[in-house]
Amino acid sequence: MSSHYEAPIREPLVLGEKSYHDISVDVGAPVLGKANKSWWIVFTIALIAFLWGLGCIIYTVATGIGVWGLNKTIGWAWDITNFVWWVGIGHAGTLISAVLLLFRQKWRMAVNRSAEAMTIFAVVQAGLFPIIHMGRPWLAYWVLPIPNQFGSLWVNFNSPLLWDVFAISTYLSVSLVFWWTGLLPDFAMIRDRTTSPFQKKIYGILSFGWSGRVKDWQRFEEVSLVLAGLATPLVLSVHTIVSFDFATSVVPGWHSTIYPPYFVAGAIFSGFAMVQTLLIIMRKVSNLEAYITILHIEYMNKVILLTGGIVTTAYIIEYFIAWYSGVPYENYAYLSFGAATGPYWWAFWALITCNLIVPLTLWVKKLRRNIVWTFIVALIINIGMWFERFDIIVIDLSKDRLTSTWAMFQPTFVDIGTFIGTIGFFFVLFLLYARTFPVIAQAEVKTILKSSGESFKRLRAVHGDDHSHVQTVESYPADAGPSANVEDKNFDSAFNELDEDSENNEVDYEANKGKIDQLLNGVGTFDPSIQTQDDLKKINGVGPVMEQKLHQIGIFTFEQVSRMTDREYDLLDEIISEFPGRAKRDDWAGQALILKNKN
Amino acid sequence: MASKKIHAIYTDDDLLMQAVKQTRAANYHISEVFTPFPVHGLDHAVGLAPTRLAITSFLYGLTGLTVAVLMMNYIMIEDWPQNIGGKPSFTFYQNMPAFIPIMFELTVFFAAHLMVITFYMRSKLWPFKKAENPDLRTTDDHFLMEIDAENHDVEKLTKFLYDTGASEISLIENEQDH
pLDDT, tens digit (0-9, with 9 covering 90-100), for B49-77: 999 999 999 999 999 999 999 999 999 99
**Do the chains contact at B104 and A193, CB–CB below 8 Å?**
no
User: Rounded CA gap, B166 and B149, in Å?
Assistant: 16
A217 at B interface, C-beta within 8 A: yes
pTM of the full predicted structure? 0.81
Cβ-Cβ contacts under 8 Å for A453 (sequence gap 6 or more):
A12, A13, A14, A18
Pairwise CA distance, residues B9 & B31, whole Å: 14
CB-based burial of residue B60 (10 Å sphere; 0-12 exposed, 13-18 middle, 19+ buried)?
A: buried
Mean pLDDT by 10 residues, chain A (599 residues): 71 86 88 85 94 95 93 91 93 86 90 91 93 93 93 92 93 93 92 88 91 92 93 92 92 89 92 92 87 92 94 90 83 67 87 91 92 94 93 87 88 94 95 92 89 82 69 48 48 44 57 77 77 78 76 81 81 74 75 73
- pLDDT for A180 equals 93
pLDDT of residue A466: 67
Residue B23's SS3 state is helix
Strand, helix or coil at A272? Answer: helix
Closest CA to A18 of A455, A374, A554, A513: A455
Per-position DSSP letters for A194-240, written without gaps between them: ---HHHHHHHHHHTTT---BHHHHHHHHHHHHHHHHHHHHHHHHHHH
| A136, burial (CB in 10 Å: exposed 0-12, middle 13-18, buried 19+) | exposed
Q: Which is nearest to A277 in space by CA: A353, A420, A376?
A: A376
- The Cβ-side half-sphere exposure at B37, using a 13 Å CA radius, reads 23
Tell me which chain B residues have a C-beta less than 8 angstroms from the C-beta of A161.
none
Evaluated on CA atoms A329, A334, A339, A342, the torsion sign reads negative
A114/A435 Cα distance (integer angstroms) = 12
Q: Is A163 close to B132, i.e. CB distance below 8 A?
A: no
B137 against A304, higher pLDDT: A304
How distant is the alpha carbon of residue A431 from its chain centre?
Answer: 10
Length of chain A: 599
Say yes or no: A148 contacts chain B, CB-CB below 8 A.
no
Distance from the first to the final alpha carbon of chain A: 33
> Inter-chain contact B159–A204, Cβ cutoff 8 Å?
no
A residues 430-449 closer than 8 Å to B (CB): 442-444, 446-447
Pick from A102, A202, A223, A451 the residue to mutate for testing the B interface (most B CBs within 10 Å). Answer: A223
Kindly state the percentage of chain B with pLDDT values over 70. Answer: 97
Contact A90, A170 (CB under 8 A): no
For residue A96, count other CB atoms closer than 10 A to its CB. Answer: 28
Cβ neighbours around A287 below 10 Å, total: 15
| Residue A465, SS3 per DSSP | coil
- Phi and psi at A556, nearest 5°, equal -125, -20
